[in-house]
């Protein structure tokens, strides 16, 4: 019996249009992933409360338009070559980051100032609206991160493989997910695909329709594999 076709997606990707710390544009990013044989990517630029390029004194819809520029550029290229490009974002609170899937750019435009919600209120609201929250690199440490915070009752899954983090940090993330029975996911967290492409993400048996579909596969634990492999993972 033949093995099922597996689809390759990176679920955590940044562009220079939306993320101040990213070095490559949406188009460059899409070109690189297409060259590496990916079926699709999810653009997750840093939201307004994180390391965003978007000025905070603009009208909300103008901010959203600027914020989604990298995604739109990547999608335009992806549509031409047959590679899927989806929209999500990475919300931040004191250096703790949460990938938000299942809500599109139109929803974001219609919900001004959600970046001002306290973290717990934000997580509750996103999930009440039908979104899915993945705790990204939960054990990352840096001088600007005052504390590690784990919120197992307020997230839907944990990113246990982040290609920018150490093996030990990823092992701790897997311990966190397993300790609370939370599903796993993985992503590269790429910021510069020209000079430092990291090959990481998930393999699934279904071609994704949108990030709602992806979120359902995560919750139903239908991620076939995370890559690169972590001992005991996937």
Confidence of residue 1 (pLDDT cuts 50, 70, 90): low
- Domain with 201, as residue range(s), is 7-227
Is 2 a member of any domain? no
Is 1 a member of any domain? no
The tokens for 160 are 């246990």
Inter-axis angle of helices 60-67 and 69-81, nearest 10: 40
Is 144 a member of any domain? yes
Is 233 a member of any domain? no
Residue 208 has pLDDT above 70, yes or no: yes
Is 97 a member of any domain? yes
Confidence at residue 4, expressed as pLDDT on a 0 to 100 scale: 83
pLDDT per residue over 2-60, tens digit each? 778 999 999 999 999 999 999 999 999 999 999 999 999 999 999 999 999 999 999 99
Three-state SS for 200?
A: coil
pTM check: above 0.75: yes
Containing 101, the helix (H) or strand (E) segment is: strand 96-101
Is 217 a member of any domain? yes
Q: Which neighbouring-strand residues pair with 7?
A: 204
Residue 233 has pLDDT above 70, yes or no: no
Q: Backbone dihedral region of 231: left (phi > 0), alpha (psi from -120 to 50 degrees) or beta?
A: beta
Confidence at residue 26, expressed as pLDDT on a 0 to 100 scale: 98
CATH of the domain at 65: 3.20.20.140
Percentage of the chain modeled with pLDDT above 90: 90
How many Cβ atoms sit within 10 Å of the Cβ of residue 60?
Answer: 16
Is 234 a member of any domain? no
Query: What secondary structure letter does DSSP report for 114?
Result: G
Mean pLDDT of 193-208: 96
Is 92 a member of any domain? yes
1 or 119: whose pLDDT is higher? Answer: 119
pLDDT per residue over 119-160, tens digit each? 999 999 999 999 999 999 999 998 889 999 999 999 999 999
pLDDT per residue over 163-184, tens digit each? 999 999 999 999 999 999 999 9
Q: How many domains does the chain have?
A: 1
**Residues near 141 by beta carbon (within 8 Å), at least 6 away in sequence:** 148, 169
């Amino acid at each position: 019996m033949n093995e099922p076709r597996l689809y390759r997606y990176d679920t955590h990707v940044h562009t220079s249009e939306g993320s101040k710390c990213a070095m490559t544009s949406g188009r460059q990013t899409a070109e690189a992933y297409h060259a590496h044989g990916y079926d699709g990517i999810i653009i997750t630029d840093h939201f307004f409360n994180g390391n965003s390029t978007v000025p905070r004194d603009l009208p909300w819809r103008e901010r959203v338009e600027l914020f989604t520029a990298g995604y739109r550029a990547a999608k335009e290229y992806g549509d031409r070559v047959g590679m899927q490009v989806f929209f999500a974002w990475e919300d931040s609170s004191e250096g703790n980051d949460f990938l938000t899937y299942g809500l599109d750019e139109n929803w974001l435009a219609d919900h001004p100032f959600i970046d001002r919600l306290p973290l717990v209120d934000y997580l509750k609201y996103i999930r009440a609206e039908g979104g899915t929250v993945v705790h990204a690199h939960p054990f990352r440490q840096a001088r600007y991160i005052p504390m590690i915070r784990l919120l197992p009752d307020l997230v839907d899954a944990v990113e246990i493989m982040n290609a920018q983090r150490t093996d030990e940090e990823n092992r701790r993330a897997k311990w966190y997910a397993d300790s609370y029975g939370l599903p796993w996911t993985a992503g590269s967290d790429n910021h510069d695909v020209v000079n430092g492409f990291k090959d990481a993400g998930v393999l699934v048996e279904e071609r994704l329709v949108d990030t709602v579909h992806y979120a359902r596969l995560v919750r139903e634990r239908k991620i076939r594999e995370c890559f690169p492999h972590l001992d005991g993972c996937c």
